[in-house]
């Protein structure tokens, strides 16, 4: 994955920023993408976005850190067990409404992502 693909994946998360936090979040995403892109390529890893059915009353958005070529995001499959290194999950909709991620949540996720990739 190159830096632009990483940025697109992370920016694809449902987010809501204030005017003050938008620049901070976007800078953090850019910084993270530039830092992890070469590591992902050398280790044969990628990140991908997934989630639960949007028609359900509870919807989740997920990011997976996985080996390149993983074909399953179903934890019951052997391929998932072998290829997914880590998963982040956020409840983005429930009976009380829509819950986008804040800039603080994105910053925390980016920090955790870098740490997991470096440890993999």
- Could you give the angle at the alpha carbon of 117 between the alpha carbons of 12 and 32, nearest 5°? 50
Consecutive sets of 10 residues in the chain, 120 residues long: mean pLDDT of each? 94 92 95 96 93 77 91 81 92 88 96 94
Region for residue 65 given its phi and psi (left: phi exceeds 0; alpha: psi -120 to 50; beta: otherwise) = beta
Question: Quick one: tokens of 101?
Answer: 């991620």
Q: What is the pTM assigned to this prediction?
A: 0.87
């Amino acid at each position: 994955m190159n830096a632009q693909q990483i940025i697109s994946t992370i920016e694809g998360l449902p987010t809501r920023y204030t005017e003050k936090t938008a620049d901070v979040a976007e800078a953090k995403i850019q910084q993270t993408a530039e830092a992890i892109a070469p590591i992902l390529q050398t280790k044969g890893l990628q990140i991908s976005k997934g989630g639960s059915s949007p028609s359900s009353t509870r919807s989740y958005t997920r990011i997976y850190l996985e080996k390149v070529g993983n074909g399953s995001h179903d934890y019951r499959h052997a391929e998932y067990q072998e290829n997914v290194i880590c998963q982040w999950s956020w409840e983005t909709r429930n009976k009380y409404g829509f819950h986008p991620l804040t800039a603080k949540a994105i910053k925390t996720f980016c920090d955790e992502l870098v740490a997991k990739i470096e440890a993999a």
